[in-house]
Amino acid sequence: MELLKAVLFGIVEGVTEWLPISSTGHLILLNEFITLNISDAFRSMFDVVIQLGAILAVIVLFFHKLNPFSPKKTEGEKKQTWQLWFKVIAAIIPSGIVGVLLDDWMDEHLHNAVVVSIALIVYGVAFILVERRNTRGKFQRISTKDGVTVAKLKEQSVDNIYDISYRTALFIGLFQCLSLIPGTSRSGSTILGAILIGVGRSAGAEFSFFMAIPTMLGASAIKGLKFLLSGVAATGTEIGVLVVGCMVSFLVSLLVIRGLMEYVRNHSFSVFGVYRIVLGVVVLAYFALAG
């Protein structure tokens, strides 16, 4: 039964890690209704380490683009790939510092259904407002000599991931700090931040995915070390739950990432904003009535 639950948690992680709707928030909410029979210490680690499966999917799908040693790349392309990695590392520094300093406090005070619900609603509204502003900002009003006003489409300032500057990468990294609040969404906060500072959705989504690799590897290492230092021994069932969860999240992520990249090329994120608001309101109402 616990392994079947782990499959469900893996599906939720694989879907929500990449959509701007908060994977951690969904796992916390799911645990309110379907509780895994694992210790609190293992639970704290599980919610983070299960994301390794999803991260592996990014490495598999974008291996050529991320590999600076590829023999199929020219010297210029290899240099470009190294620069991309340096920008990704620069971008994760702010959230890395904040995460290390406040990890225990956030686990104690923010990992609950109420905080998740409020964050879902607040950032759902933010997504809708930013997308509306972004859509209006794409058009520049130009009056013809006949007095007729027409709209001319303006280009995004950055539509290629390699054109993202170190300054822009650092700003996107600052937005990632917001994702430390459960329910905010790491991909959501970084993509939203990228859009706000003039990066196209597709380039912003890719950069967000690449930021996830060192971010989640580091977070998983910290959580794993804390679990080992806690002195609590993992049971065979707990290890099985973690392995199954990671495997399922990897397989699901392969499908979701491909679909999301295709979606963002032609659609806005407003639909995710609406979903976040509806889910947040429903969960708040549920716990208000249950209480």
Kindly indicate the confidence band of residue 147, based on its pLDDT and cuts at 50, 70 and 90.
low
Supply the angle between the helices 270-290 and 113-137 in degrees, to the nearest 10: 160
Residue that wins the pLDDT comparison between 243 and 287:
243
Q: Give the span between the Cα atoms of 149 and 147, in whole angstroms.
A: 6
Token duo for residue 86: 């340096």
Q: How confident is the model over 34-87, as pLDDT tens digits?
A: 888 888 888 888 988 898 999 999 999 999 999 999 999 999 999 999 999 999
Token duo for residue 37: 């029979």
Report the candidate in 67, 66, 5, 76 with the shortest Cα–Cα distance to residue 35.
5
199 forms beta bridges with 158
- Could you tell me if 250 and 56 are in contact, meaning their C-beta atoms sit under 8 angstroms apart? yes
Give me the numbers of helices (H) and strands (E) for the chain, helices first please.
12, 2
pLDDT at 44: 83
Q: How confident is the model over 77-119, as pLDDT tens digits?
A: 999 999 999 999 999 999 989 988 888 888 888 888 888 899 9
Q: Give the span between the Cα atoms of 8 and 130, in whole angstroms.
A: 32
Q: Give the span between the Cα atoms of 158 and 61, in whole angstroms.
A: 23
Q: How confident is the model over 6-16, as pLDDT tens digits?
A: 999 999 999 99
- Could you tell me if 15 and 52 are in contact, meaning their C-beta atoms sit under 8 angstroms apart? no
The domain tally of the chain equals 1
- What is the pLDDT averaged over residues 167-192? 90
pLDDT at 243: 94
Q: Provide the domain limits for residue 95.
A: 2-290
Q: Give the span between the Cα atoms of 82 and 19, in whole angstroms.
A: 27
* pLDDT, mean over the chain: 87
Q: How confident is the model over 194-244, as pLDDT tens digits?
A: 988 989 888 998 999 999 999 989 888 888 888 888 888 889 999 999 999
Question: What's this model's pTM, rounded to 2 decimal places?
Answer: 0.81
What residues contact 145, with CB distance under 8 A and at least 6 apart? none
Show the CA angle centred on residue 170, arms to residues 72 and 195, nearest 5°.
Answer: 85
Kindly indicate the confidence band of residue 146, based on its pLDDT and cuts at 50, 70 and 90.
low
pLDDT at 139: 47
